[in-house]
């Protein structure tokens, strides 16, 4: 087998081998890696005699020509494909130079024995692939101080380079700014995902990446550090071709500066889960993305900022700001769980939501959107007056959209209700379950113009909401599709609720449960049902704890009793609890007595 | 018709029919503060000063030492809230879509 040794000068003249890249521009002149070593070096610890390992090459090694010094006195030179070696027990440095395409993950035997990546050999060793090169090397440490010389052809994938290789011995800042990743226009999925979990930081500044997909690029980076630690700076990046930034930094810790990304200029880009479950660097108060360009191409924002966390300079959990000022949501196709459980106290740029395209948002696309944003206020940065809520008419589900929004901000500091919410287009919505569950605002929501003609459930719709005292559903257009109202307005500050005055086109005949709907509504004084109200479908357990603490007028209670007795035929009934008086000798008392004979047990204030 | 009067200080009550076991229980729990009355056509209405006494009787009828607590914590429709000794709805969790947990 012929011996081939590459020198830096030979490498600089390698343009003829790789015509798509001008090597003359970058051929290394700087010093080699650690301890004067010039070749790629990795340490293996061989656990037993006759232990066979293989260095598998991507695509069978086409285009490779490399030398291997096995570190035990043996060498294989001029290799153009996979090469294997049988070791005796011991510790060895494998040294490689030349052009190679390692895909070590393919060899199961090598995964556990590689213990150190000592040197990249940037002056002697060219990687023509980075695809699964060091994936799954479960015991690998990282000591290299130089960087790899990458020559990735446009069609070569660069997926999973270090995926699930924890590299927990590396505690420095991994700076890949000099890594030449721009060659490939194919996929670059998870190159650093679930690796470098003990790294103090990760840096990539000023790069251009041409890969078509860069999902999970650096997910879980520094994930092994304490909360607030880490220092991730990935900024001033141009993604010329990537349509997929899925989970790019999910579960990473120590985000510092990820601003000024230029997304691809045409086509769509998914940022689903891009910051999901990630932590900001302690003391950093803002996730500033205001310098992102071409945001109009973003198509998916599912869980994009879900569970983003902040920490103060002492490392204690804190709140922070999301700045998406200037973002254009023209192509946004979903916000499902977008900000769910994040620690944002304000979101700058919400006004840009007026750029949404109504036809793009359907089904559950805004469900859970601001759910569990316990610290969020809309006081300083609010929704547009029009252009967002009034364009959600194709959405069918608003479940938990503002669930617990502002809940932890404290009395008097909740902030305004969402601007424009009064103009919500709910004409195709079937579920508002938990939509405002325990949401806290200082101003009210007016639902009087909402079209609720397709609603099937309002379960826990406004359970525990603050800021709203009056609700008028007179013109909501309810139909018999509505089946449950349980806990809808429980534990609220409501004083006046109207489901219709006199005869109404609202149809409640399909509702099976009004359980606890006005339980713990201390301030309620007026609760009006239409005089043609129907309780036809209410079950024996459907009036349990219906109205406690607050009350309704005698006339209103009389009407409730009359309409219930007239329209409901359940026998035997269950508990019927209304904290109100009926009129002695009136139609209400007659109806109540009839209901008691049908097995209903009343807890109320009696007659007067 | 059985009535728990508005001024009766024994506010913890149960309503049952003449049968036995859990199925005979119709409603049990708190009757509301003084000023609230309970009226039923079921044959048995019993009331006590304390929730503990009610709990003992309900558990005896249901044949389970944990029935009352279970009823409170799972928001059983037969229980009339509040409870002073158990957290109402403690075991009711908000569900998230399966593909998002």
pLDDT digits (tens, 9 = 90+) for A33-91: 445 899 999 999 999 999 999 999 999 999 999 999 999 999 999 999 999 999 999 99
Q: Report the C-alpha gap between B69 and B59 in whole angstroms.
A: 9
What is the predicted pLDDT for the residue at A14?
A: 42
Using a CB-CB cut-off of 8 Å, the residues of chain B touching A575 are 26-27, 77-78, 80
Contact indicator for A333, A370 with CB cutoff of 8 Å: no
Residue A149 distance to chain B (closest CA, Å): 40
| Cβ–Cβ gap B35/A596 under 8 Å | no
Asked if residue A150 has pLDDT above 50, the reply is yes
The nearest alpha carbon in chain B to A597 belongs to B41
Looking at CA atoms only, how far is residue A432 from chain B in angstroms? 14
Indicate the DSSP class of residue A417. Answer: P
- CA of A606, closest CA in chain B: separation in Å? 6
CA atoms of A526 and A497, how far apart (whole Å): 6
pLDDT, tens digit, for every residue of B18-77? 999 999 999 999 999 999 999 999 999 999 999 999 999 999 999 999 999 999 999 999
Integer angstrom CA distances of residue A205 from A174, A179, A196, A236: 12, 11, 18, 6
- Neighbour-count burial for A166-182, b at 16+ CB within 10 Å, e otherwise: bbbebeebbebeebbbb
Residue with tokens 């525990």: A464
What integer pLDDT is reported at residue A36 of this predicted model? 82
ipTM value of the model?
A: 0.96
Confidence of residue A15 (pLDDT cuts 50, 70, 90): very low
Do A601 and B42 make contact, defined as CB atoms within 8 angstroms? Answer: yes
Tens-digit pLDDT profile for residues A444-503: 999 999 999 999 999 999 999 999 999 999 999 999 999 999 999 999 999 999 999 999
pLDDT, averaged across chain A:
94
CB contact under 8 A, A601 and B100: no
Find out whether the peptide bond into B13 is cis, omega within 30 degrees of 0. no
The CA–CA distances, whole Å, from A226 to A91, A100, A200, A345 equal 33, 38, 11, 23
CB A230 within 8 A of CB A262: no
**pLDDT digits over B76-94, tens only?**
999 999 999 999 999 987 7
Of the partner residues B1, B42, B81, the one whose CB lies closest to the CB of residue A545: B81
The pLDDT-based confidence of A604 (bands split at 50, 70, 90) is: very high
All residues of chain B having their beta carbon less than 8 Å from the beta carbon of residue A247 are none
* A vs B: CB pairs below 8 A: 72
Phi–psi pair at B99, nearest 5 degrees: -85, 5
**What pLDDT is recorded for position A163?**
86
The pLDDT, as a whole number, for residue B18 is: 96
Give B37 to chain A, closest Cα distance, Å. 6
Contact A300, A271 (CB under 8 A): yes
Identify all chain B residues contacting A600, using CB atoms and an 8 Å cutoff: 40
A409, two tokens: 């901000």
Rounded to the nearest angstrom, the minimum Cα separation between B1 and chain A is 8
Axis-axis angle for helices A587-597, A554-567 (nearest 10): 40
DSSP A53: E
Q: Minimal Cα distance from B94: which residue of A?
A: A434
Which residues of B touch chain A, with CB atoms under 8 Å apart?
A: 1, 6, 15, 26-27, 31-32, 35-42, 77-81, 94, 96, 100
Instruction: Select the residue of A337, A603, A604 nearest B80 (Cβ to Cβ).
Output: A603
Beta partners for A321? A286, A346
Note the pLDDT tens digit of each residue in A300-357.
999 999 999 999 999 999 999 999 999 999 999 999 999 999 999 999 999 999 999 9
Nearest CA in chain A to B77: A541
Do residues A536 and A564 touch, judged by C-beta distance below 8 A?
Answer: no
Residue of A354, A249, A256, A356 lying closest to A305 (CA atoms): A249
Classify the C-alpha dihedral A218-A219-A222-A226 as positive or negative.
positive
Distance, in Å, from the CA atom of A245 to the CA atom of A154, rounded to the nearest integer, reads 19
Helix H or strand E encompassing A51:
strand A51-55
**Per-residue confidence at A1, pLDDT binned at 50, 70, 90?**
very low
pLDDT for the residue numbered B38: 98
In the numeric block, which tokens belong to residue A495?
């004083």
Using CA atoms, how far apart are residues A98 and A80, in angstroms rounded to an integer? 10
Nearest residue of B to residue A581, measured between CA atoms = B36
Mean pLDDT of A283-287: 98
B-chain residues within 8 Å CB-CB of A598?
41
Contact A604 B36 (CB under 8 A): yes
Nearest CA-CA partner of A275 in A300, A299, A308: A308
User: Tens digits of per-residue pLDDT, A376-388?
Assistant: 999 999 999 999 9
- Distance CA(A449)–CA(A40), nearest Å, equals 70
Burial class (CB in 10 A: 0-12, 13-18, 19+), A394: middle
DSSP string computed for A293-344: B-GGGEEE-TTTTTT-BEE-TTS-EE-EEEE-TT---TT----TTTTTT--E
Per DSSP (E only), the strands in A70-196 are 75-79, 83-87, 90-100, 114-120, 125-127, 141-142, 149-150, 173-175
Which of the residues A461, A521, A575 would you substitute to probe the B interface, choosing the one with the greatest number of B C-beta atoms within 10 Å? A575
Within A478-553, residue ranges assigned H as helices are none
Residue position matching structure tokens 């004083």: A495
pTM comes to: 0.92
What percent of chain B lies above the pLDDT cut of 70? 95
Query: What average pLDDT does range A228-239 have in this prediction?
Result: 98
Percent of residues in chain A assigned helix, strand, coil, to nearest 5: 10, 20, 65
Facing A596 at nearest CB: one of B39, B96, B100: B39
| B62: helix, strand or coil | helix
User: Per the CB < 8 Å rule, is B40 touching A577?
Assistant: no
Residues from chain A that touch B15, judged by Cβ atoms under 8 A, are 601
Distance CA A412, CA A331 (A): 37
Q: Which helix (H) or strand (E) holds B27?
A: strand B25-30
pLDDT (tens digit per residue) in A496-515: 999 999 999 999 999 999 99
Task: Give the position of tokens 């890696």.
Answer: A33
Separation in Å, CA of B58 to nearest CA in chain A: 16
Dist. CA B42–CA B2, nearest whole Å: 7
Q: Is the pLDDT of residue A3 over 50?
A: no
Average pLDDT of chain B is: 94
A93 is written with which tokens?
Answer: 């440095």
Q: Which residue, among B46, B100, B101, would best test binding to A if mutated, counting the most A CBs under 10 Å from its CB? A: B100
**For chain B, domain boundaries:** 2-100
As a whole number of angstroms, the distance between CA A40 and CA A121 comes to 4
The vertex-A463 CA angle with A521 and B66, nearest 5°, equals 90
**B65 min Cα distance to partner chain A (Å):** 23
């Amino acid at each position: 087998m012929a011996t081939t040794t590459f020198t830096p000068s030979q490498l600089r003249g390698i343009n003829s081998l790789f015509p798509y890249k001008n090597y003359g521009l970058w051929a290394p002149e700087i010093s080699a890696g650690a301890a004067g070593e010039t070749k790629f070096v990795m340490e293996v610890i061989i656990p037993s005699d006759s232990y066979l390992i293989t260095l598998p090459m991507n695509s069978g090694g086409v285009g490779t020509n490399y030398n291997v010094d096995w570190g035990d006195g043996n060498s294989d030179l001029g290799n153009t494909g996979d090469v294997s070696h049988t070791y005796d027990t011991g510790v060895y440095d494998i040294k490689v130079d030349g052009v190679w395409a390692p895909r070590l993950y393919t060899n199961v035997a090598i995964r556990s024995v590689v213990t150190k990546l000592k040197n990249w050999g940037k002056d002697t060793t060219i990687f023509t692939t980075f695809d699964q090169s060091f994936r799954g090397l479960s015991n690998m440490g990282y000591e290299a101080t130089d960087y790899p010389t990458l020559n990735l052809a446009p069609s070569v994938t660069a997926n999973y380079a270090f995926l699930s290789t924890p590299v927990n011995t590396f505690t420095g800042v991994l700076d890949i700014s000099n890594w030449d990743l721009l060659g490939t226009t194919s996929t670059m999925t998870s190159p650093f995902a679930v690796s470098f979990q003990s790294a103090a930081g990760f840096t990539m500044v000023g790069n251009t990446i041409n890969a078509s997909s860069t999902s999970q690029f650096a997910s879980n980076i520094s994930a092994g550090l304490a909360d607030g630690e880490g220092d991730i700076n990935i900024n001033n990046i141009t993604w010329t071709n990537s349509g997929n930034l899925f989970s790019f930094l999910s579960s990473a810790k120590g985000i510092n500066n990820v601003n000024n990304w230029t997304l691809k200029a045409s086509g769509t880009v998914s940022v689903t889960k891009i910051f999901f479950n990630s932590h900001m660097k302690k003391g950093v108060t803002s996730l500033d993305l205001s310098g992102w360009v071409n945001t109009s191409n973003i198509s998916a924002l599912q869980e994009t900022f879900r569970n983003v966390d902040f920490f103060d300079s002492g490392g204690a959990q804190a709140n922070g700001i999301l700045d998406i000022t200037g973002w254009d949501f023209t192509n946004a196709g979903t916000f499902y769980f977008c900000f769910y459980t994040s620690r944002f106290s304000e979101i700058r740029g919400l006004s840009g939501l007026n750029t949404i395209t109504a036809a793009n948002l359907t089904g559950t696309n805004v469900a859970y959107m601001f759910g569990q944003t316990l610290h969020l206020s809309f006081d300083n940065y609010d929704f547009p007056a029009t252009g967002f809520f009034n364009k959600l008419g194709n959405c069918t589900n608003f479940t938990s959209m503002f669930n617990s929004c502002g809940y932890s901000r404290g009395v008097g500091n909740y902030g305004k209700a969402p601007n424009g919410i009064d103009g919500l287009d709910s004409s195709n919505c079937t579920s508002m379950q938990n939509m405002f569950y325990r949401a806290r605002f200082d101003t009210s929501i007016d639902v009087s113009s909402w079209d609720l003609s397709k609603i099937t459930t309002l379960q826990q719709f406004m359970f525990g909401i603050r800021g709203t005292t009056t609700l008028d559903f007179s013109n909501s257009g309810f139909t018999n599709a509505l089946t449950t109202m349980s806990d809808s307005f429980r534990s609220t500050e409501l004083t006046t609720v109207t489901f219709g005055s006199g005869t109404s086109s609202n149809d409640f005949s399909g509702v099976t449960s009004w359980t606890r709907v006005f339980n713990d509504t201390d301030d309620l004084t007026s609760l009006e049902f239409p005089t043609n109200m129907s309780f036809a479908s209410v079950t024996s357990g459907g009036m349990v704890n219906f109205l406690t603490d607050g009350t309704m007028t005698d006339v209103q209670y009389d009407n409730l009793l009359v309409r219930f007795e007239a329209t409901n035929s359940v026998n035997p009934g269950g508990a019927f609890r209304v904290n109100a008086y009926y009129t002695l000798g009136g139609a209400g008392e007659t109806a109540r007595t009839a209901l008691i004979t049908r097995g209903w047990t009343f807890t109320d204030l009696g007659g007067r | 018709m059985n009535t728990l009067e508005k001024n009766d200080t024994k506010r913890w009550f149960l309503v049952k029919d003449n049968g036995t076991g859990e199925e005979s229980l119709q409603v049990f729990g708190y009757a509301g503060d003084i000023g609230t009355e309970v009226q039923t056509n079921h044959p048995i209405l019993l009331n006590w000063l304390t929730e503990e006494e009610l709990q003992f009787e309900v558990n005896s009828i249901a044949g389970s030492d944990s029935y009352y607590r279970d009823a409170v914590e799972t928001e059983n429709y037969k229980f009339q809230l509040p409870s002073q000794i158990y957290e109402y709805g403690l075991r009711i969790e908000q569900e998230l879509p399966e593909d998002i947990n």
